[in-house]
Structure 1
Amino acid sequence: MSYLPLDEYQRKWIFTHQSMPVPEDELEFIKPMNQARAAQFWKENISAQSPDMERLSSSDWPMKESNWTDAVDWMAAWDADEPELPEEVTAFIDWQDDVTVYFCYEKYNIIETKWSTFKKHWKNFLFYDDGPMLLGRRRSQALWFDSKGNVKLGERT
């Protein structure tokens, strides 16, 4: 099996927190990868050497500034009462709702879900904002969030 049951996921609380719980019937769409699957995905899609975003090498694609076209503030939208992602993000990412996406915290901590689920519950995912990246299956666009409240919009190469 490539996934952990959500009940065994160490950060399950970010999806069940009383301030903004994900509805019970939508939790099934949030699928934390087991460590082996996450490590393989990370190696193939982010870095073969580095275990987290803070230690990426200059040869890893996210470290190439030319891959990033813009950066926008996500923190203001996160703090706001409205549930939507920042407008610049949804304008940049034009994926269909059923596109599989991967929210990558670090080498052993990646969540698979659908774009529709991420869009609806993105604030939950960003309870941990220590450099996570969102990638889509067979899509070149990428989002790289930082803890200062910015998200880089780019293309992975």
Structure 2
Amino acid sequence: MSYLPLEEYQRKWIFTHQSMPVPEQDWIAIKPMDQLRSAQLWKENISAQSPDADRLSSSDWPMKESNWSDSVDWMTAWESDDESLPESVLEHIDWQDDVTVYFCYEKYNVIETKWVTFKKHWKNFLFYDDGPILIARRRNEALWFDSKGKVKLGHRD
């Protein structure tokens, strides 16, 4: 098996937190990958050497400034009552709802979901905001969130 049931996911609390629980019917769309699959996706799409965003090397695509076009605030929207992603993020990511996305916390912690699910529950994903990178299958656009409340808008090369 390459996915963990959400009940067994080490950070399940980010989806069951009493302040903003994800409805149980949406849990099926949130698929934490097991460590082996996470590591493979990270190695192929983020970094072959570095285990997390803090230790990316200068040769890894996220560290190349030319891959990032803008940096916008996400924390203000996260703290507001508005449920939607910041408008500038939605303008940058013009994907169909059924696009498969990967929210990459670090080498051994990647969650697969659909763009529609991420948009709906993005605040839950960002309860843990230690440099996660959002990428999608067969798409070049990328988002890189930081714990200071900014998200870089860019493209993978």
**Is the aligned partner of 1:77 residue 2:81?**
no
> Across the two proteins, how many residue pairs are aligned to each other?
157
Residue 112 of structure 1 is matched in structure 2 by 112
Amino acid at match of 2:97: D
Q: Where in structure 2 are there 5+ consecutive unaligned residues?
A: none
* Whole-Å separation in 1 of the counterparts to 2:87 and 2:9: 31
* Whole-Å separation in 1 of the counterparts to 2:144 and 2:38: 17
Residue 50 of structure 2 is matched in structure 1 by 50
Residue 17 of structure 1 is matched in structure 2 by 17
* Whole-Å separation in 2 of the counterparts to 1:40 and 1:2: 11
Amino acid at match of 1:152: K
Residue 3 of structure 2 is matched in structure 1 by 3
Percent identity at matched positions? 78
* Whole-Å separation in 1 of the counterparts to 2:83 and 2:37: 31
Q: Where in structure 1 are there 5+ consecutive unaligned residues?
A: none
Q: What does the per-residue CA deviation read over 1:26-71, in whole Å, with 9 as the maximum and x for residues that have no partner?
A: 0110000000000000000000000000000000000000000000
SS at match of 2:36: helix
* Whole-Å separation in 2 of the counterparts to 1:10 and 1:155: 29
SS at match of 1:128: coil
> Which of structure 1's runs of 4+ aligned residues deviate more than 6 A?
none
Structure-1-length-normalised TM-score = 0.99
* Whole-Å separation in 2 of the counterparts to 1:29 and 1:133: 19
